[in-house]
Chains A and B, each alone.
Chain A
Amino acid sequence: MIQIRGLKKHFGPKEVLRGVDIDIPDGKTLCIVGGSGTGKSTFIKCIIRLLRPDGGSIMVDGTEMAHEEHEYKLSQIRRSFGYLFQEGALFDSLSVWENVTFGLPYLTEIPRSKYRAIAKEKLALVGMENVEELRPSELSGGMKKRVALARAIAAEPKYMLYDEPTSGLDPIMSDIINDLILDLKRKLGVTGIVITHDMKSAFKIGDTIAMLYQGKFIASGTAEEFAKTDNPYVRQFVEGSSIGPIKMKLRDLD
């Protein structure tokens, strides 16, 4: 279980997270929605400690991560996480199959002789075949995203952090990825935190949906509760309308 209390992060004078509180129970998927630049990626990067929070607490299975400074201890805690990067973050110098199996020697005891088969299996899961020998530069944006997802799930982590898993994918492939996230949860009990702008995805895969606005969660609930909420910020975001309090605030800033 992940418990977050009062999480704060600022970059220079800009406060990105202003005391975020949320619980993510085991086996559940939390979808975080919110406009661009509201701190969604910062939030999950703080959870896995790619960024150091300025305040608050992040408890992962009872272990405090927020203020752990020891590199070795952090690397041990990170072992239970998988992370899908927004742009894939594939290693240019390695082939697709080498990318997919990159983490296995560090995260698992699986013998190297099985790596090729694992790469093939994970790539098939994300709908990719006969691409093992290609380089990331030879792949389209959507293909890179899927290879990155195959890499993130290769070591079968307990927690998965998805940074916009369906952006750049066509609607059919987006739905396949959504099904895959659901499958990971159902079959392996993977706990997920998904950042998305895609409300259709959020409604399909999220056990809980939370909206981040101005550094805090302003609403959270099940997909049904979220769809029926009266919160004008949420309504505007769900409906994708340019008219509403979020736009007004931007006008104020301008």
Chain B
Amino acid sequence: MKKLTGFLGRFILDCATETGKATLMVRSAAFWSFKADIEWHQAFIQAVRVGVDSLPVTALTSFFTGMVLALQAGSTTRNIFNEPIYIGALVGFSLVKELGPVLTAIVVAGRAGSAMAAELGTMCVTEQIDALHTLGTNPSRYLVIPRFIACMLVIPFLTVFADFSGIIGGFMVAVLKLDVPSTTYTNDILTFMEIKDFMHGFVKTFIFAFMIATVCCYKGLSTRGGAEGVGRSTTSAVVISMVLVLILDYFATAVLVSIGI
């Protein structure tokens, strides 16, 4: 029992310490974003990496998720109502409000977040971060702010793309396999869904983007101990990001539902 409480205490203390340090990094980034010019060129490079590199995986993941949702919805409603109904609405709501933002965030955390943590981690252990300080700039200005901008701009767009990709996947299964008329599928979506349903998912993407940029930059910049340390930072950046996406998703949903979005 004593060991367990000791372990829990250390865990909570470590979490609090890491959160505090990550907050200081965000504060420093906020300070430099007002104090110095934004490195738009770097932000563009990062946006291309986060966006273009993650786009095929995001599209494929959502496309098949949409297909699976349509198939499951079709088979369930056929069992209950003897015909596949409300497929479009089910696929649309599931993707736009939940699966689109969450799947995109998880794919970006795995694909681009790991690359961010590994790159910054390698820069850390090879003194390139120190070199930034000696050359008139600093990691907040040159590395962190561009990555924040890239994530905040690109992840919402990726999510919208994922939403459409999933809805098209669902459309193909509904029309080609379940013999649902195409107009029924699209009418389901247009009739039942409102702009606030889209906003529900869209707002969450900014929360996920901020969190992924914070965790991956912080883990990268706090790397110690050579190649092994880079591996450790990269793994923990991805794992923490993915877990936090799911945890934050619940709390963000609860808040958004309570304020009627």
Contact = CB atoms under 8 A, between A and B. Distances in A.
Residue of B35, B123, B131, B135 with highest tally of chain A CB at under 10 A: B135
A79 B136 CA distance: 6
A148 to B, nearest CB: 8
Interface in A187-245: none
A106 B28 contact: no
Contacts of B134: 48, 50, 78, 81-83, 103, 152
B75 interface: no
B137 A106 contact: yes
A73 B166 CA distance: 51
A91 interface: yes
A151 B135 contact: yes
A248 interface: no
Contacts of B126: 87, 89, 92
A149 to B, nearest CB: 13
B31 A71 contact: yes
A115 interface: no
Interface string A52-86: 00000000000000000001100100110111011
A87 B136 CA distance: 19
Contacts of B127: 85-87, 89
> Could you say which interface size class chain A belongs to?
20 to 34
Contacts, number: 60
A107 interface: yes
A78 B136 contact: yes
Interface string B116-158: 0000001100111011011111101000000000000000000
A71 B136 CA distance: 12
A85 B138 contact: no
A91 B131 contact: yes
A78 B134 CA distance: 6
A114 to B, nearest CB: 17
Given A71-B28, A89-B126, A89-B127, A78 B133 contact: yes
Contacts of B122: 92
B50 to A, nearest CB: 15
A243 B137 CA distance: 46
A82 B138 CA distance: 15
B135 A102 contact: yes
A168 to B, nearest CB: 15
B136 A103 contact: yes
A151 B138 CA distance: 16
Contacts of A85: 127, 130-131
B254 to A, nearest CB: 37
Contacts of A71: 28, 31-32, 138, 140
A107 B130 CA distance: 16
Contacts of B138: 71, 75
